[in-house]
Amino acid sequence: MSPLAHIEALLPRYQGVIRREEPMARHTAFKVGGACDLYLAPESLDDLCMAVATLSREGIPLIVVGGGSNLLVKDGGIEGAVITLAGLDTTLDEEVAGETVFLTVPAGIKTQRLGRFAAQKGYAGLNFTTGIPGTLGGALAMNAGTTPVAFEGILDALTVVDRSGEIHTVSRHALTLSYRHLTIGGKDRHDEAFPIIVSARLRLTRGTREALMTERKRLLKKRTQSQPVHLPSAGCFFKNPPQGPSAGKLIDDLGLKGETHGRAQVSPLHANYLVNTGGATAADIIALATRVKERVKRRHGIQLDEEVTLVGKEA
């Protein structure tokens, strides 16, 4: 009998959610994607460690997601298990040392809630996250940010769970961070053995609540005016090239705003956003992205790389 057929028996003390054949379209910002074989939403760190250890022991492939905001799941779904950390949204721990503030934050917290909390408390350093969707864990795994600021500037340490279910603390000097990239022990988010981020210790500074909240309002207004926030997307689809114009400018210069494939579209508002106009499939989005990459390569000689993580199998 397949381990998936009796997973509940393998997790006798597990308190969280377990569902079979869960449509991933319910759990991604793109609102597309086939079903995963098994979907788990742990209620606690003990739940998570138990689930990870059991799945690893049984040889069941495992993908970890947060808010699904940087994820494109193919229409054939995901073989194996998906674990979401969105439910691991516990309290924040604050430590003030003079003008420095250390926040220990669960990976499941929504990035927007974290940024708003810090601004309201007068803690400076997180306003760059204004408008960044998803959860902290996912944002850390890709060193999310807005040019030229990212999480690498405020990260002090991570608490992670390895694929055997053991908990470790990793200090900043043991991490490698670069543009949209985090490496832990030589592994990044595309590696099956990448540790699961469960919390982070962030180093902030004392600021002024009024100034920080005013800046957040300004940044949110700018984002609303320049990005298609009301349509399903994964944010910026492509990374900016190391040199030269941004990915958005390269695409815009080709007149590709508004380009479509099926129900997927290059946003007329921001050329580096591919959006689901309603009823798009993952195949629509992938085909449109492929066309954009080919056009940019042909005209500019630049190979665009996806910022979005693509997982799953074809339908």
Q: Which of 180, 189, 201, 216 is catalytic?
A: 180
Based on the residue annotation, tell me whether 259 is a catalytic residue of this protein.
no
Q: Can you tell me the distance from the alpha carbon of 74 to that of 314, in angstroms, rounded to the nearest whole number?
A: 6
Q: What is the reported pLDDT for 87?
A: 78
What does the pLDDT look like over 102-119, one tens digit per residue? 999 999 999 999 999 999
CATH classification code of 93-218? 3.30.465.10
Region 155-163: mean pLDDT is 97
Residue 82 has pLDDT above 70, yes or no: yes
122 φ, ψ to 5°? 80, 25
CA 105 from centroid of its chain's CA atoms:
16
pTM of the model: 0.91
Q: Domain map of the chain by residue range?
A: 3-84, 93-218, 228-299
Q: What is the reported pLDDT for 6?
A: 67
Categorize the per-residue pLDDT at 1 as very low, low, confident or very high, splitting at 50, 70 and 90: very low
Q: Can you tell me the distance from the alpha carbon of 27 to that of 63, in angstroms, rounded to the nearest whole number?
A: 13
% of the chain beyond a pLDDT of 90:
83
Q: What is the reported pLDDT for 12?
A: 79
CATH classification code of 3-84? 3.30.43.10
The DSSP symbol for 124 reads: E
Question: What is the chain's mean pLDDT, rounded?
Answer: 93
162 φ, ψ to 5°? -80, 175
Region 150-177: mean pLDDT is 96
Q: Which of 22, 116, 236, 259 is catalytic?
A: 236
The DSSP symbol for 93 reads: E
CA-CA-CA-CA torsion sign (146, 150, 154, 158): positive
Q: What is the reported pLDDT for 96?
A: 92
User: Is residue 149 within 8 Å of 227, Cβ to Cβ?
Assistant: no
Based on the residue annotation, tell me whether 236 is a catalytic residue of this protein.
yes
Class for domain 228-299, per CATH?
Answer: alpha beta
Nearest CA among 301, 234, 244 for reference residue 28? 234
Based on the residue annotation, tell me whether 216 is a catalytic residue of this protein.
no
Between 274 and 69, whose confidence is greater?
Answer: 274
Q: Which of 22, 36, 259, 307 is catalytic?
A: 307
Residue 144 has pLDDT above 70, yes or no: yes
Between 224 and 175, whose confidence is greater?
Answer: 175
User: Is residue 68 within 8 Å of 29, Cβ to Cβ?
Assistant: yes
